[in-house]
């Protein structure tokens, strides 16, 4: 079913975007264009800044609604490079897709929030465990939400398991596909807790729809979220364009560390978000172009344990993380870049 949906989406998107020019077209002097897809979340939107750092290649940054849409575009050859997440890498390998990680981008962006009146203090895991047991015993399990399969969902589930709460058995999971709906679900009392993504998490707190319970970064995945992927055929046929794209991503990430101004401008361009909310959301993000190999193994194992993938692809991770472009872009050995 996934493959059918993927190809249907690919047909639709092919009319919108075209991949890198063929070698013949390049020989005729056509300017190489790298199609780079990115999702619309606070940390993802910084990818809109990448084109300004391209040199002898034109980088076209294309926004998509979600990371799943970006991955679909990459594996269907509609784009050349994709900003997705570590989870998408694991999911793609589990499904047998040809993807290669070439750079990190921005981590963080996850936050567990509780509805008003639930009565827990921030990071009070003992209190949460007590509440979960009481609600389960009463036949009214705590209702916990996330967008199923995204980084925030996995961060939350891993954190719950660490504290002795089985997310499959001890609570009632509510899937909210669009994080923009998290605030209203909390306000209506449809859910008790949610692990949301920035900037929606900051928006929930600032509008008074919920309060912080925890930043779920102690589980095996840490705060890892965004990853830049391409395909092996793109690397084989267009290595220079891939290198220049990674060069541009590294320069973009360095610019984020220097100041939030351009990043906030990118968020403002693609969303109608209050600038104050946008600025707040960036406090829960961590620009970082490194790729964390060992933690990626842990993420793959955790996703298998949580039944989000059908197989443990840990042993495939190393051959699908190519540090060569990042090493050349930064002048650093791979041991410094997360290997």
Task: Specify the fold of 33-108+223-336.
Answer: D-Maltodextrin-Binding Protein; domain 2 (3.40.190)
Mean pLDDT rounded to a whole number for the chain:
90
pLDDT, tens digit (0-9, with 9 covering 90-100), for 295-339: 999 899 988 988 889 999 999 999 999 999 999 999 999 999 999
Look at residue 271 in the predicted model and tell me its pLDDT: 81
Per-residue pLDDT band for 273 (boundaries 50, 70, 90) equals: confident
Q: Which of 68, 61, 79, 67 is nearest to 13 (CA)?
A: 79
CA atoms within 13 A on the CB side of 290: 17
Per-residue pLDDT band for 28 (boundaries 50, 70, 90) equals: low
Whether cis (ω within 30° of 0) applies to the bond prior to 199 is: yes
Look at residue 56 in the predicted model and tell me its pLDDT: 85
Q: Is residue 11 scored above 50 in pLDDT?
A: no
Q: Is residue 15 scored above 90 in pLDDT?
A: no
Domain ranges in the chain with CATH number 3.40.190.10: 33-108+223-336, 110-214
**Can you tell me the distance from the alpha carbon of 50 to that of 180, in angstroms, rounded to the nearest whole number?**
26
Look at residue 65 in the predicted model and tell me its pLDDT: 83
**Can you tell me the distance from the alpha carbon of 154 to that of 302, in angstroms, rounded to the nearest whole number?**
8
3-state secondary structure of 217: coil
Look at residue 248 in the predicted model and tell me its pLDDT: 97
Q: Is residue 209 scored above 90 in pLDDT?
A: yes
* Token pair for 220: 């095996």
* Displacement of CA 250 from its chain's centroid (Å): 17
User: What separation in angstroms does the CA of 250 have from each of 5, 104, 332?
Assistant: 33, 9, 12
User: What separation in angstroms does the CA of 2 have from each of 8, 68, 69, 78, 308?
Assistant: 10, 11, 12, 17, 14
Q: Is residue 126 scored above 90 in pLDDT?
A: yes
Q: Is residue 143 scored above 90 in pLDDT?
A: yes
Q: Is residue 26 scored above 90 in pLDDT?
A: no
Beta bridge partners of 285: 108
204-243 exposure pattern, b = at least 16 Cβ within 10 A, e = fewer: bbeeebbbbbbbbbebbbbbbbbbbbbbeebbeebeebbb
3-state secondary structure of 84: strand
142-162 exposure pattern, b = at least 16 Cβ within 10 A, e = fewer: bbbbbbebbbbbbbbbbbbbe
Q: Is residue 290 scored above 60 in pLDDT?
A: yes
The dotted CATH code for 110-214 is: 3.40.190.10
3-state secondary structure of 305: helix
Q: Which residues contact 22 (CB under 8 A, 6 or more apart)?
A: none
Look at residue 29 in the predicted model and tell me its pLDDT: 60
Per-residue pLDDT band for 23 (boundaries 50, 70, 90) equals: low
């Amino acid at each position: 079913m996934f493959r059918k949906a993927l190809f249907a989406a690919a047909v639709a998107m092919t009319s919108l975007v075209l991949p890198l020019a063929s070698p013949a077209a390049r020989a005729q002097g056509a300017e190489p264009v790298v199609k780079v897809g990115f999702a619309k979340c606070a940390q993802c939107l910084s990818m809109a800044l990448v084109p300004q750092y391209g040199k002898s290649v034109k980088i076209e940054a294309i926004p998509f609604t979600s990371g799943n849409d970006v991955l679909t575009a990459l594996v269907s050859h509609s784009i050349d490079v994709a900003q997705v997440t570590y989870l998408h890498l694991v999911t793609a390998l589990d499904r047998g897709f040809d993807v290669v990680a070439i750079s990190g981008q921005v981590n963080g962006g996850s936050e567990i929030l509780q509805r008003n009146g639930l009565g827990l203090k921030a990071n009070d895991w003992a209190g949460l465990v007590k509440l979960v047991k009481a609600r389960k015993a009463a036949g009214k399990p705590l209702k916990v939400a996330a967008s199923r399969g995204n980084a925030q969902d996995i961060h939350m589930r891993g954190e719950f398991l660490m504290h002795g709460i089985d997310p499959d058995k001890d609570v009632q999971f509510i899937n909210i596909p669009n994080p923009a709906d998290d605030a209203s679900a909390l306000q209506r009392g449809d859910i008790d807790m949610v692990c949301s993504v920035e900037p929606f998490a900051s928006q929930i707190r600032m509008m008074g729809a919920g309060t912080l319970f925890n930043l779920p970064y102690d589980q095996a995945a840490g705060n890892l979220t965004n990853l830049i992927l391409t395909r092996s055929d793109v690397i084989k046929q267009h290595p220079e364009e891939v290198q220049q794209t990674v060069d541009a991503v590294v320069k973009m990430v360095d610019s984020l560390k220097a100041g939030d101004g351009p990043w906030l401008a990118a968020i403002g361009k693609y969303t109608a978000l209050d600038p104050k909310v946008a600025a707040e959301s960036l406090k829960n993000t961590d620009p970082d172009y490194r790729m964390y190999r060992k933690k990626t193994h842990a993420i793959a194992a955790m996703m298998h344990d949580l039944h989000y993938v059908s197989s443990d692809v840990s042993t495939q991770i190393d051959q699908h993380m190519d540090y060569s472009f990042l090493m050349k872009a930064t002048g650093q050995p791979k041991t410094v870049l997360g290997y």
